Amino acid sequence: MINNEKLFISNEDNFYLKQLSKIDVTQNYINWLNDYEVVKYTEQRHLKHSYDSVCQFVEQKLFSKENYLFGIYYDKKHIGNVKLGPISFSNKKSEISYIIGEKKYWGKGLATQTINFLSQIAKDKLNIVKLLAGTYDCNLASINVLKKNGFKLEGRITKSVYFEKKQIDNLVFGKVLID
């Protein structure tokens, strides 16, 4: 079980995860989701986000038993999100997805550390054996985050994404947490 406390990745930088609820939905958070540069490699790029749509998403995840949506907090700011889910408890597996919305925090190793930490939580607190993550084949930063965390390329879904006037591949990465 995971409760609503802060899950510290590092005390030093006030770097932690916390499950999101409606009170965490700020204009800043909504702005990341409407910033093409931030969401261009995600399916969020097709949507226009508003206070109501983001609140609805956050609450749906908060009350879902198969999903944990965490805010990534760093230096006293909400800088991104990471989702563990949907989880299949019967198969002991889960998908993950992540976004660092505050662009000035890109390239500092924060997503890499976040995924490392989330993998431990998935294993230790939820007994999850297998994690899966999807990424467009041109999202080099995301591919690096996964490889640095020991994820292996398990599948290539060819020509499955229409991106910037081209039909591109989606990659599926996986990691076994418990042998």
Ligand X SMILES: CC(C)(COP(=O)(O)OP(=O)(O)OC[C@H]1O[C@@H](n2cnc3c(N)ncnc32)[C@H](O)[C@@H]1OP(=O)(O)O)[C@@H](O)C(=O)NCCC(=O)NCCS
- Binding stretches for ligand X (CB under 6 A): 38, 41-42, 98-100, 106-112, 135, 139-142, 144-145, 148
Cβ proximity to ligand X: between 87 and 101 the closer is 101
Nearest to ligand X of 122, 145 (CB atom) = 145
CB of 144 to ligand X, least distance (A): 3
Structure tokens at 119: 């993998």
Compute the least distance from the CB of residue 35 to ligand X, in Å: 9
- Minimum gap (Å) between residue 82 Cβ and ligand X: 9
The answer to whether 114 touches 72, Cβ cutoff 8 Å, is yes
**Three-class SS string for 2-34?**
CCCCCEEEECCCCEEEEECCHHHCCHHHHHHHC
Q: How are strands ordered across the β-sheet holding 7-10? A: 7-10, 15-19, 68-74, 77-88, 93-100, 130-136, 166-176, 152-163
CB nearer ligand X, residue 49 or residue 148: 148
Least separation, in Å, of the C-beta of 147 and ligand X?
Answer: 8
Looking at the Cβ atoms of 103 and 178, the one nearer to ligand X is: 103
Closest by CA to 101, choosing from 40, 148, 16, 170, is: 40
